[in-house]
């Protein structure tokens, strides 16, 4: 592992810890506002456990027309995947399913023994084996990093914060006549919390998703030693997602739009990969 990769992995780990703790803290405080501190934290732990259980036990519903790619029809792909899984230290080779789409889609779903990799028919047709190897390494990194259980828990935290905010909204609505009569029903600090915290929680959740994508990119380079291949694959995938009539000059990300993205921009990801490769 090169010093640059190690540095990037540590940075993403620190970001992940900070964002996760922030989301848990916001959700815990939201529940405590309504139910009290002790009951709030107990409820928070219970809801996190239920979210984690749901993520690890749910049956994944695949789109119609999805087919499982077997080892006989794609021996080279499974040979590459087996090598990546061994390097990642995983005990199981996840099955690969092909989505009936020409778009540039590749993702991981399921947890543990239920984990699987989904790729579109377009990815299999358009990417070279070197680029496909980089994409598979990215998905294997998500599995190795336990990203899907993490996403389930933080999504649960965000929903808790949003639900408590909605509950307080209802209280404000019904107590509005008393508030007009100068009767203090809800403290101003609670009202401020009500209006601001759900947005902060959502932004933190999206930032966490982007951080884990960066971490999976770094993990892919760690497994393959080929940052150039992943950069090339990302460019190809983005080109496959664009409409036929696409004017790039009219499609620029603003600061706000970047905050609301689940994935970093391709430019950002390639920039990080270039830094790793140069390092």
Domain boundaries, the chain: 3-58+147-278, 67-144
d(CA 235, CA 233): 5
- pLDDT single digits (tens) 204-249: 889 999 999 999 999 999 999 999 999 999 999 988 876 544 444 4
Q: In this predicted structure, which of 90-99, 108-117, 191-200 has the lowest mean pLDDT?
A: 191-200
Residues 136/237, Cβ–Cβ less than 8 Å? no
Q: In this predicted structure, which of 68-82, 84-98, 103-117, 124-138 has the lowest mean pLDDT?
A: 103-117
All residues at 6 or more sequence positions from 36 whose CB lies less than 8 Å from its CB, including other chains: none
User: What is the CATH code of the structural domain delimited by 67-144?
Assistant: 3.30.2010.10
- pLDDT single digits (tens) 259-270: 778 888 899 999
The residue to which tokens 């989505």 are assigned: 99
Reply yes or no on whether the pLDDT at 251 is more than 90: no
Give the CB-side neighbour count of residue 16, counting CA atoms within 13 A.
20
Catalytic annotation, residues: 139
Angle at 60 between CA 144 and CA 110, to 5 degrees: 5
Q: Give Rg (Cα) of the chain.
A: 22
């Amino acid at each position: 592992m090169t010093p640059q990769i190690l540095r990037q992995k540590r940075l993403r780990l620190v970001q992940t810890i900070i964002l996760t703790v922030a989301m848990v803290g916001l959700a815990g405080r939201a529940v405590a506002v309504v139910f009290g501190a002790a009951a709030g934290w107990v409820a928070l732990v219970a809801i996190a456990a239920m979210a984690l259980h749901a993520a690890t036990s749910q049956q994944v519903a695949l789109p119609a027309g999805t087919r499982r790619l077997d080892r006989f029809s794609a021996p080279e792909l499974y040979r590459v995947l087996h090598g990546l899984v061994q390097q990642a230290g995983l005990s199981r080779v996840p099955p690969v399913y092909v989505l009936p789409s020409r778009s540039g889609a590749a993702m991981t779903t399921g947890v543990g023994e239920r984990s699987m990799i989904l790729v579109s028919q377009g990815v299999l047709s358009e990417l070279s084996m070197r680029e496909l190897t980089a994409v598979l390494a990215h998905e294997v990194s998500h599995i190795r990093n336990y990203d899907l259980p993490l996403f389930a828990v933080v999504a649960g935290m965000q929903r808790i914060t949003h639900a408590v905010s909605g509950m307080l909204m209802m209280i404000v609505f019904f107590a509005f006549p008393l508030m007009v009569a100068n009767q203090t029903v809800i403290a101003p600090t609670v009202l401020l919390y009500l209006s601001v915290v759900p947005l902060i929680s959502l932004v933190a959740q999206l930032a966490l998703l982007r951080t884990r994508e960066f971490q999976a990119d770094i993990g892919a380079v760690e497994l393959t030693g080929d940052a150039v291949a992943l950069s090339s694959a990302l460019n190809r995938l983005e080109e496959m997602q664009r409409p036929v009539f696409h004017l790039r000059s009219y499609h620029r990300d603003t600061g706000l739009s970047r905050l609301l993205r689940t994935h970093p921009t391709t430019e950002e990801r390639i920039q990080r990969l270039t830094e790793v490769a140069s390092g």
